Structures are given as C-alpha cells and as structure tokens.
Chain A
Amino acid sequence: MKRAIILSAVLGGAVCAWVGGARVRAAEGVAPAQIQGSVRRIELPEMGNGWPEGPGKDVVEVQCGVCHSGRYLTMQPTFPRKTWEAQVEKMRKVFGAPIPDQSVPGIVEYLMKVRGRE
C-alpha cells in the first residue's frame, strides 16, 4: 500500500506542467484505488454529518440526512422562506423524501435559521 502511494507520487511528479509560468504538481498524495484481482474498490472518507447546530437539528439529521449530508445546506447562500419551503416540497414530492407533514414547519425553521433571510 505504502509502495503504491510512493509510486503514484513519483508518477505525479512526471505529470508536472509548465504553462504560463506556473507549475502544478498534479498527483502528490493521491490515494490509489484498491485492486484485488478483478475487483477495484475505493473507500469514501467519513466527514461527519455536517449539519450545523440549530433548533430542529435532530429532525433534519434524520429526515434530510438520510440521503445527503449537511453540506448540501451549508454550501448554499441565504434564501427567503418561500425558497426553502419550495426546496422542502421538492425533496418530498420530487425526490421522495418520506418527510411527514408535521415535520415540515420545523425543518423550514431550521433552514431559515442556518441559511435564511426574511
């Protein structure tokens, strides 16, 4: 494994490019896929669930966190309430999130708290 990493770093050095005066070392520290016979495998990094603190976080972690991490929210700019309401509806109607009606207002409040603007 270690040898593979060193090898990839060496190969990466060969991919160095000089363009416009800038040098970019491409492949330094790139973790290779694991290959065993005909099987190729990678392991995705665990990065925490990514939901910021806020009222209703526990519900959001469950209802939204099933399919995606909190970074889907934290990468967004702020939006008005109607945008977040529409997003929750989209997740329910279009992407099939099994969010019960009674959970919706709390989720919208949380989204407003984290990325809302009135």
Chain B
Amino acid sequence: MDRRNEAVSDGTVARRAFLRWTAGLVGAGVLTTSGLMSRVLGEMPRSAGADSPAPGGVPSDAPAGKSKLELARFPEKTELILLTDRPPNLEMPAKYFVHDLTPNEAMFVRWHIGIIPTRVDLAEFRLKVGGHVESPLSLSVDQLKKDFEAVTVVAVNQCSGNSRSLFTPRVAGGQWGHGAVGNAKWTGVRLKDLLAKAKVKPGAVEVSFGGLDSAIIPVTAQNPGTPDYVKSLQIAKANDADVIVAYAQNDKELPMLNGFPLRLVVPGWFATYWVKALDEINVLDKAFEGFWMTKAYRVPKGDPKVNESPTDLAKETVPITEMVTRSLFAFPLGGEKVPAGQAVEVNGLAWDAGKGIATVEVSADGGKTWNQAKLDPELGRFSWRRWRYPWTPAAGKHALLCRATSAAAETQVERQWNRSGYARNVIERVEVEAG
C-alpha cells in the first residue's frame, strides 16, 4: 500500500528553461564562485509557490493517507505525480495499472543530473559506437532503422528505487510510491548487431552507454564535478540478443523525457541500465569504473532478495542487475471502497526478470489463507502479466494480499530492507473497505 495519498494541485507554469540558463553559466565559467552564483540566481524568475512553507507539498513522512501529492503536467506527459521538477522525476499514478501496455504519456520519468535534453535535431544526432572496435560507427536514427533488422520486445521498465517510500526505516532518495514502473512495447535494433557491425576487437570486457544528459558542475582539474550518467554491461550481456537500442515505444517515437530519440532497453534488468537519449556506446578492454556503476546503484552481495540489516550493513555490494519477482494490485487500490456482498474482480500485475510468472496467489483474510489467481495470457516473458481473482466481500474492512512466484520458483518476501531502497519485492497488501 502506498504511504502517500493523491491530491491534485497543479503548479505547472509554462516558461523558458532554467537549465539552458544554467548551462550558459557553466559555459561562461561563472559557476565556480558562489558570489556570482548568488547574484545570478537572485535574478531567477519566481512563480507562485516558490516561497510557500512546503512547496513540494509532499511531507512524505506523514502517516499513511495524510500526505498530499502534487501532480504536474510536463511536455508529452499526462498528469503525473511530481517528485521533483529540476531535474524532472515524475511518477505514474496507480490508476494506470489497469493498462497492460502503459501509455507513453503515463510512463514514469527519472533523470539523474542537471542538464537534460530538451531539443534534438535528427539531422545532426548520431549514435556513436566506438572504443575497442575495428570499425567505429556513427549512425543517424534513419540509418539505424534502414541498415539493421528491427526487433520488438514487450518489457517492464522499472526504476531500481520503485516503492522506496515504503522502506522502514526510511531511506534517502527519490521517494517513489509504486509508480516508477511501466510496461511497453519497445522496437529497435539489437545491440549485438551494432557491435558486430563495429567489429569488436578481441579482449573486450565491457560496453559503456552514455546519453545526451550532462552535469551542471562539470568535472575539472580543480573540482571533482558531477559524474556523467554512464552505465556499463559486461560484454556477454551486451551481446545478449534481447538487449536492444529502441527508437519506438508502443509504436511511437519515445517521449523526450523517456529518452528520445534512442534508449537502451535491457529486458529483465532494472531501468538504471536503460540509458535515455543514448548517443555513445563504448567498447572497453577493461572494467568500467564510472561512479554510476562502482558507487551508485549497488545492492548487498549474495542476497537474491536484496536484504540487509540497518544495524549490520552488508560488507560487500555489487551492481544491481535483474529485477526481482513482484506483484501489485490494479483494483482495488489501497483505501478504495468496494460494494459489499457483490462479486468484484480483483486484479493486478506480476512480473519477474524474464523466467515468467508461474502463479499469483491472493489472500483476502490478511494472509491466513491463499488462493490462486487466474493469469491472463502472457504478452512476452519480459512483460508484466495480469492476474484476476473473483471476490465477494462481506461488509467491513479487509486486508487483501498478493504474492507472485516465478517459473524459477522465486517468490516474494514478508520483510525487506536495504540502505538504498532498491528492488522492493515485499508481498503486497492493500486495505479496502466493503460497504
């Protein structure tokens, strides 16, 4: 159940981009002295809400149901839950879990560093494949579409930190509810086909991926700066036929905020690898040592359930990779009212890293007894799968639970915690009232 509760308050005001302005500052070398920053920031236009006591309106530590979430509209996006505006982090409201394929305008948005692409000229844009290869490539999106076989995969795109706000004790980071996840049909070209065309040299061990986003505080000799968002895959994974460079999301161009024009899609793996606005693929003859692999997005080593104790943190960590088996409710949602004495169809979604969902069980009595839900046909092994369960509730309060088990016998846990709030796979519970 979500700790937070949705309430509408649209603070969106159209205007020009602060990011471009800040980028200009960096270019002009102004950002290195705080005095100048202060002066220029003081000239920033303010809008209503800038001076209110809690502008985000998101006291996430409030008791369940007491907090208010702010909604906002960004370009090409429907009304989404506003976590942060700059850089944008937007969550899909739970009502969209009724869709088997998440509409593009509802897909969550997650950017890490300050300057994100807001303008792309396809006449200039090139995807570069280089590094430890015989024949480096520089490809336009048109060339990519013309010269390589198109492949399509339906796959769940889920942020590593999805549902982080439900961890107890709470952890710092993007305070997502359940909506940092969506499922879409991705079309593009196989990464392995690009690598084959570029002729990877013997001795390649990893491949790194960078996008058009960049840091406001660049790395210089004087300042460590903000590490560019670059991820890597080991060479065997990069040559996995499932990994694609996608140019279409549900048969349409990707929304700019979801990575137009190209996005790496690593089915079954968390979205941290799904590099947006992908423009640089680099084959490496040694392990990649960038911050976003060696310091961030890491989980306790050796625990498939991604668990550790707050009082005894794991000594060793490894990069997060595959998603863990989990399930969610689409109907009813927590706090929703259902009619008493009438049959309703409880339904929801379940997914894993690609082995497939074997069973989903539902408990309508707080976990005392469990019954199997009926599964809809599979849309693909990397897609989520809808489950349905008929239920006729008596009047009163009920706790509904769901738990999925994968074809690899992975199931969900009763309790879970890790320092970064990653890979939540706790048995889902919603409280509903029939009356």
Tell me if A51 and B60 are in contact (CB < 8 A). Answer: no
Residues of B within 8 A of A30 (CB): 73, 76-78, 105
Interface bits A17-54 vs B (CB < 8 Å: 1, else 0): 10111101011111111000111111111111111110
Q: Would you call A1 an interface residue if the criterion is a C-beta within 8 Å of the partner chain's C-beta atoms?
A: no
Residues of A within 8 A of B41 (CB): 61-62, 65-66
70-97 of chain A: CB within 8 A of chain B: 70-79, 83, 87, 93-97
Q: Would you call A15 an interface residue if the criterion is a C-beta within 8 Å of the partner chain's C-beta atoms?
A: yes
Q: Would you call A98 an interface residue if the criterion is a C-beta within 8 Å of the partner chain's C-beta atoms?
A: yes
Tell me if A77 and B37 are in contact (CB < 8 A). Answer: no
1-48 of chain B: CB within 8 A of chain A: 11-19, 22, 31-32, 34, 37-38, 41, 44-48
The chain B residue with its CB closest to the CB of A46 is: B15
Residues of A within 8 A of B56 (CB): 50, 70-71, 73-75
Given contacts A71-B58, A79-B172, contact A50 B85 (CB under 8 A): yes
Residues of B within 8 A of A40 (CB): 119-122, 253, 256, 260-261
Tell me if B99 and A17 are in contact (CB < 8 A). Answer: yes
Residues of A within 8 A of B226 (CB): 67, 95-96
Residues of B within 8 A of A37 (CB): 123
The chain B residue with its CB closest to the CB of A32 is: B76
Given contacts A26-B78, A98-B32, contact A46 B217 (CB under 8 A): no
In the complex, how many angstroms separate the beta carbon of A26 from the nearest chain B beta carbon?
4
Q: Would you call B366 an interface residue if the criterion is a C-beta within 8 Å of the partner chain's C-beta atoms?
A: no
Q: Would you call B386 an interface residue if the criterion is a C-beta within 8 Å of the partner chain's C-beta atoms?
A: yes
CA distance A31 to B119 in the complex (A): 15
Instruction: Pick from A26, A32, A46, A68: contact of B103, CB below 8 A.
Output: A26
Given contacts A52-B53, A67-B114, A68-B84, contact A31 B47 (CB under 8 A): no
For chain A, the bracket of interface size reads: 35 or more
Tell me if A62 and B73 are in contact (CB < 8 A). Answer: no
Given contacts A45-B85, A48-B47, A95-B226, contact A21 B345 (CB under 8 A): yes
Q: Would you call B61 an interface residue if the criterion is a C-beta within 8 Å of the partner chain's C-beta atoms?
A: yes
Residues of A within 8 A of B344 (CB): 21
Instruction: Pick from B34, B72, B257: contact of A47, CB below 8 A.
Output: B72
Instruction: Pick from B12, B124, B165, B345: contact of A45, CB below 8 A.
Output: B12
Q: Would you call B288 an interface residue if the criterion is a C-beta within 8 Å of the partner chain's C-beta atoms?
A: no
Instruction: Pick from B88, B105, B347: contact of A27, CB below 8 A.
Output: B105
Residues of B within 8 A of A61 (CB): 41
Tell me if B103 and A27 are in contact (CB < 8 A). Answer: yes
Instruction: Pick from B47, B103, B331: contact of A21, CB below 8 A.
Output: B331
58-87 of chain B: CB within 8 A of chain A: 58-61, 72-79, 82-87
In the complex, how many angstroms separate the beta carbon of A1 from the nearest chain B beta carbon?
12
Q: Would you call B283 an interface residue if the criterion is a C-beta within 8 Å of the partner chain's C-beta atoms?
A: no
Of residues A47, A51, A61, A69, which shows the largest number of chain B Cβ atoms within 10 Å of its Cβ?
Answer: A47
In the complex, how many angstroms separate the beta carbon of A33 from the nearest chain B beta carbon?
6
CA distance A87 to B78 in the complex (A): 32
Tell me if B217 and A42 are in contact (CB < 8 A). Answer: no
Q: Would you call B291 an interface residue if the criterion is a C-beta within 8 Å of the partner chain's C-beta atoms?
A: yes
Tell me if B84 and A26 are in contact (CB < 8 A). Answer: no
Residues of A within 8 A of B78 (CB): 26-30
CA distance A83 to B122 in the complex (A): 44
In the complex, how many angstroms separate the beta carbon of A60 from the nearest chain B beta carbon?
11
Tell me if B55 and A51 are in contact (CB < 8 A). Answer: yes
Interface bits B117-144 vs A (CB < 8 Å: 1, else 0): 0111111100000000000000000000
Q: Would you call B370 an interface residue if the criterion is a C-beta within 8 Å of the partner chain's C-beta atoms?
A: no
CA distance A17 to B96 in the complex (A): 10
Q: Would you call B95 an interface residue if the criterion is a C-beta within 8 Å of the partner chain's C-beta atoms?
A: yes
The chain A residue with its CB closest to the CB of B87 is: A68
CA distance A17 to B83 in the complex (A): 26
Residues of B within 8 A of A71 (CB): 55-56, 58, 82-86
Q: Would you call B196 an interface residue if the criterion is a C-beta within 8 Å of the partner chain's C-beta atoms?
A: no
Instruction: Pick from B16, B34, B37, B59: contact of A43, CB below 8 A.
Output: B16
In the complex, how many angstroms separate the beta carbon of A58 from the nearest chain B beta carbon?
7
Q: Would you call B225 an interface residue if the criterion is a C-beta within 8 Å of the partner chain's C-beta atoms?
A: yes
CA distance A32 to B253 in the complex (A): 12
Tell me if B175 and A42 are in contact (CB < 8 A). Answer: no
CA distance A39 to B119 in the complex (A): 7
Between-chain CB contacts (< 8 Å), 17 pairs:
A19-B330, A20-B388, A24-B95, A24-B96, A26-B105, A31-B73, A40-B261, A42-B256, A43-B15, A50-B56, A51-B50, A62-B34, A71-B56, A72-B84, A74-B58, A75-B56, A100-B34
**A residues touching B (Cβ–Cβ < 8 Å)?**
12, 15, 17, 19-22, 24, 26-33, 37-53, 58, 61-63, 65-79, 83, 87, 93-98, 100, 103, 115
Q: Which 6 A-B pairs give the minimum distances between C-beta atoms? A: A48-B50, A74-B56, A77-B61, A42-B75, A46-B15, A26-B103
